[in-house]
Structure 1
Amino acid sequence: MSSSVAGKSCTICETPGSRGCARCKSSSYCSTDCQLDDWPVHKLLCASFSKFDVSARPSETHFRSIVFPQDQSRPEIQWLHCPWVDDEGEGVKWQDPDVTPFMGSGSMNTYTLIRTDALLQKRLPDVIDICYRDRFLVDGSLPNKSTAAILATIPYGSHEWRGPIVAVGRKGQSMDPDSCRDLGMNDFRYIADYLIAYGRWSLDLNTPGKPHQEVVKGVRINCVGDRKVFGKPLYEPVDVTPTDSVFNRHCNDTSDIADRIGLPILTRQCPPSLRWMRTKGQYDFGGESPDTNQDATFLHLCCDPKADKFPAGPGWSMAGFKWQQSVGSVIVVRRDQKPLDPLHVEALCHYCRYDIRPLMGHTMGEYAPDEPLARDLVLQMICRPTFSISWYKLCDRKHEEGQVVPELSPYEV
């Protein structure tokens, strides 16, 4: 193990790193796979980082920062002056980064502290401060070309960043760190993932609660990629904290069918895996995309009989566009935070896909020459009794296969 990576954890996972980037000597990896997972993002800054002369530090209050110019194709390393501010009245000192050379004079700026990496599902050892223009959508700021290069590494619709962006390192994980620090290539990975995930995936960590911490028993519906590459089951039990964004009405989705049968649930999409995106050609996905999740798609069928506006919005018998393209794995919880068993979710998805979707299709003439059913009639059939029949039929089949089923139905927990 080289001295440059000794004691460091892998940039991608928490495993101790035993190999480092030969050029920048900043990032560490536990395996070739993790290094290859990081490469599409890493290569965008590696050369600039390697050439940067850290011995030429202008002063003790200048720190290595990462700047994302709006008119350049790649980000770059720059010195950022972070002078100390001394509030003698309060007896408090902190370092205040001078971003004017990069953001422009007179601009109103927003500062956001990054504490976690949603794509890598890890908590950062030190926070990172991101600065961007407060009114970049209306102040004439141009699309940021250097962030576009980062967003292109994951083929999903992401937030369009405009205007220049500056990232500066902060020491520690406190709510308001007072000291700045140099940024490294691991930090660049975390910044890139923030830019990618912003506005699309939750920035929360999907990890079990700490000992004695309250958790909600939920279920993860794993996409094709997570099942084929990592051997995960289709329905996986997960512990979700009550503060998870899935419980935030601005960050979640519901199921029309589940609402109608009296099992209100909340769902949110999970970030994609870097591994199965990179190794698509090495696995047999059965002709499907690795981010395909048909069970989650059918779970989100629209039950509004007057909705016929797809793809602008969900139409009758169809899922919204976000649930048809690049779905990925999905977290499901009960709105009342009662425990949810994997078989409960399997039964609900099976009901949506094999019981209700055909009825909806009938209303649209898919079973000609039959006279199409009326949509209102189908809505009456989406109810607790029909789901209960489906639930007990599934339990009987599981029993015959020798599988253990929950003692309580979804209505009895």
Structure 2
Amino acid sequence: MAGTLCEICNNTATQRCSACSQSRYCTRDCQKSGWPKHKLLCGSAKAIRLEDRPTPASPNTFFRRAILFEPAESKPRFVWLKFNLQEVDGRYEEVPDLTEHQIADDKEDIDHRRIHNNPVLGKQLHHTIRVRYRDNFLADGSKPNKAANPLKPKIDWRGPMVCYAMKGLSATLKESDDLDLSDFPFIVQWFKVFGDSRPLQTSLLTDADWERMPPAERADGVAVKI
């Protein structure tokens, strides 16, 4: 399970970050290696603690910890993202409200990508991370996303972006989940490779990719080419 292994390698974690008490490492060297990216969210993780989850006003509303990339800010941060239980294609699922953080409104198309594993680290996620952003961010006047710059992305991202989690790795994801600091290395790697013109083996699946995959491969989170 997430949290028992070192965030930098696959060895058993024996220590935690003394500041946030959330990220785990096997050695001091691994902690130093991860610090340049970990420091981006360390303080935010202390401010947005799971035990301080907001109380929903309705039994059909849920709050999950997500990571927001706000264009005007210098780094990403944890936020509480609201989900509403809605009927989608004949089934009920928890759908994020993307209007609060200006990711979307009724007139905008929203795109997303799924992250299941990290081919570089050789690690598999226990849930699915979704990255949501405006589909037409290069043409709608969105400002450059400064919060994404520390991750050294391949794309000139513009407009707000948010990453959140859904439980499981299947094609039909119904329940939302919390992101934590152990998820961040997967997101960092996604930013580094998404948009690369070389044929990479990754798990950055589009909806079309997902539908073409055999069910057994979906469940295993097998990587496909993009």
| Aligned-pair CA distance for 1:121 | 2.8
C-alpha RMSD over aligned residues = 2.3
Q: Is the 8 A contact 1:6 1:18 kept in 2?
A: no
| Aligned-pair CA distance for 1:47 | 0.5
Structure 2 counterpart of 1:94: 93
Which aligned pairs between 1:73-152 and structure 2 lie closer than 5 A?
Answer: 73-86=74-87, 90=90, 92-102=91-101, 103-105=103-105, 106-151=107-152
Q: Is the 8 A contact 1:116 1:203 kept in 2?
A: no
| Aligned-pair CA distance for 1:159 | 1.8
Cα distance in 2 for partners of 1:67, 1:162 equals: 13
Letter in 2 for 1:58: T
Answer yes or no: is 1:57 the counterpart of 2:58. Answer: no
Q: Which has a greater percent of helix?
A: 1
| CA deviation vs aligned residue, 1:258-315 (integer Å, no higher than 9, x gap) | xxxxxxxxxxxxxxxxxxxxxxxxxxxxxxxxxxxxxxxxxxxxxxxxxxxxxxxxxx
Q: Aligned residue pairs: how many?
A: 198
Q: Is the 8 A contact 2:104 2:110 kept in 1?
A: no
Q: Is the 8 A contact 2:201 2:224 kept in 1?
A: no
Cα distance in 2 for partners of 1:83, 1:41 equals: 31
Percent identical residues: 31
Cα distance in 1 for partners of 2:133, 2:2 equals: 35
Instruction: Give 1:174's match in structure 2, choosing from 170, 180, 183.
Output: 170
| CA deviation vs aligned residue, 1:86-125 (integer Å, no higher than 9, x gap) | 35x83x2111001111114232110211112233232212
Q: Name the SS of the counterpart of 1:101 in structure 2.
A: coil
Measured at CA, do residues 191 and 6 of structure 1 come closer, stay the same or move farther in structure 2, by a change above 3 Å? closer
Structure 2, unaligned runs of 5 or more: 204-222
Structure 2 counterpart of 1:67: 68
Which aligned pairs between 1:28-67 and structure 2 lie closer than 5 A?
Answer: 28-54=24-50, 55-59=52-56, 61-67=62-68
Measured at CA, do residues 147 and 31 of structure 1 come closer, stay the same or move farther in structure 2, by a change above 3 Å? same
Which aligned pairs between 1:333-352 and structure 2 lie closer than 5 A?
Answer: none
Per the normalisation by structure 1, the TM-score is 0.45
Letter in 1 for 2:55: P
Q: Is the 8 A contact 1:6 1:17 kept in 2?
A: no
Q: Name the SS of the counterpart of 1:46 in structure 2.
A: helix
Cα distance in 1 for partners of 2:21, 2:167 equals: 21
Letter in 2 for 1:194: W
| CA deviation vs aligned residue, 1:223-267 (integer Å, no higher than 9, x gap) | xxxxxxxxxxxxxxxxxxxx864xxxxx7xxxxxxxxxxxxxxxx
Q: Which has a greater percent of strand?
A: 2
| Aligned-pair CA distance for 1:58 | 3.0
| Aligned-pair CA distance for 1:158 | 2.0
Structure 1, unaligned runs of 5 or more: 152-156, 206-242, 246-250, 252-413
Per the normalisation by structure 2, the TM-score is 0.79
Measured at CA, do residues 7 and 80 of structure 1 come closer, stay the same or move farther in structure 2, by a change above 3 Å? closer
Cα distance in 1 for partners of 2:45, 2:122 equals: 25
